[in-house]
Amino acid sequence: MSWLSSLKSVFSPSQEVKEEEVQQVLQSYILPNSEHALKDRITQVNVQGQVLQITINTFPSEADDLQKIHDDLADALDKCGITELNMHVIQQKTGHTSGGCGHQHAEGESCSSQPKAQSAALKNSLPPVVDASAAPVQKAEDTDPNNPPIQKAAPQQRDVPKHPRIQNVILVSSGKGGVGKSTTTVNLALALQKLGLKVGVLDADIYGPSIPTMLGNAGRTPMIEAEHFIPLDAYGLAVLSIGHLTGDHNTPVAWRGPKATGALMQLFNQTLWPDLDVLMIDMPPGTGDIQLTMAQRIPVTGAVIVTTPQNVALMDATKGIELFNRVQIPVIGVVENMSTHICSNCGHEEQIFGTGGGDKLSEQYNIPLLGRLPLNVQIRENADAGKPSVAAEDEAAESYMAIAEKIAAGLTLAEKDQNRIF
């Protein structure tokens, strides 16, 4: 594979980087004090974000020109969106020669547009540069710079294998925080259980887990058997959250995206879930790493969108629906939370957050409005006390049950063995 084909196949999709202009710079540059083109000396190209790393062959007589080559390229590539250039030099003859970087360039040394400390740190983070001469030789007719090799596509929902013990996975999601998503998750889980289904709850809100508090088992930690977590029991639900592993309410989970998504996959795959009809997953707000991980690595039956009626919440809920549509996850419907408030003293009804938000989403995307939930102090008090509305059988319990019935009607459930005890 030529270096140009390699560049086209690994180039960052970042809109800040102008791929064609980068190729033109590398192909048109002529080495100082010679008639040799740089493109004939490039053996390897690596791209990471807006950082470009190239490997070139040089000769001892060209050592004084290395810094000029690097600076010329860095200036030209900066206009193409490349903010940093690292040039790795491989000399064709042994021995040390004076380099334009101000130090001796032995075989395999580098010039970088970063200070030494930053360059060393970057070197550790970038993929290793290998000499292209060691790669298998390809015939010229087999290499077409205009048709780079096809890269492996991201996994699709249809390709994700089903969990052996979980029939349906339902995501409870919202575009923003503070709309009552976690409260809706635990109450719908309890309502589905009351309908006769075996239900579990996974708290995927890695940074702000609230499920342990709402289900009354905060501070408890799961047992481990054969390197697998044993989910905790709460009102007959199989439950697991990162909050059960941190030990207390005060420990922040300050993880970058890859570590957070890795923890989520571990909670899903390394947990001895019982045979479940439904696993309810309480999602974090937004449309980031965890949502994409779910779409590509966990078999999802559908998503329930939770919103409040006001326009700000609807805007973010719309983004969530658009994301699920793009990754082929069906949207089961919309739950409009905090829909109306009835004064406990005078009985006056008031739409504090506006009206018609759920209806607008339902009409815009042709998805069901599963139900409306009131802004009721009992919902909050019971959730804070670790006994959600459905378990406490308060005024809102009936509304949650009605929503759960609509969800259950669309699920595919395995035929139950009447002889089973569990």
Residue 81 labelled as part of a binding site: no
Q: Angle, nearest 10°, between helix axes 357-365 and 311-326?
A: 30
How far from 47 is each of 11, 81, 124, 405, CA to CA, in Å?
Answer: 6, 12, 14, 51
Residue type present at position 144: D
Say if CB 351 and CB 309 are below 8 A apart: yes
Q: How distant is the alpha carbon of residue 34 from its chain centre?
A: 49
Residue 123 labelled as part of a binding site: no
Residue 286 labelled as part of a binding site: no
Contacts of 223 (CB under 8 A, 6+ apart): 229, 230
Residue 177 labelled as part of a binding site: yes
Q: Which residues pair with 256 in a beta bridge?
A: none
Say if CB 175 and CB 315 are below 8 A apart: yes
Residue 68 labelled as part of a binding site: no
Residue 180 labelled as part of a binding site: yes
Say if CB 354 and CB 311 are below 8 A apart: yes
Residue with tokens 């709850």: 201
Q: How distant is the alpha carbon of residue 365 from its chain centre?
A: 24
Residue 181 labelled as part of a binding site: yes
CA atoms of 384 and 212, how far apart (whole Å): 10
Residue 176 labelled as part of a binding site: yes
- Binding site for ATP: what residues are annotated? 175-182
- Binding site: what residues are annotated? 175-182
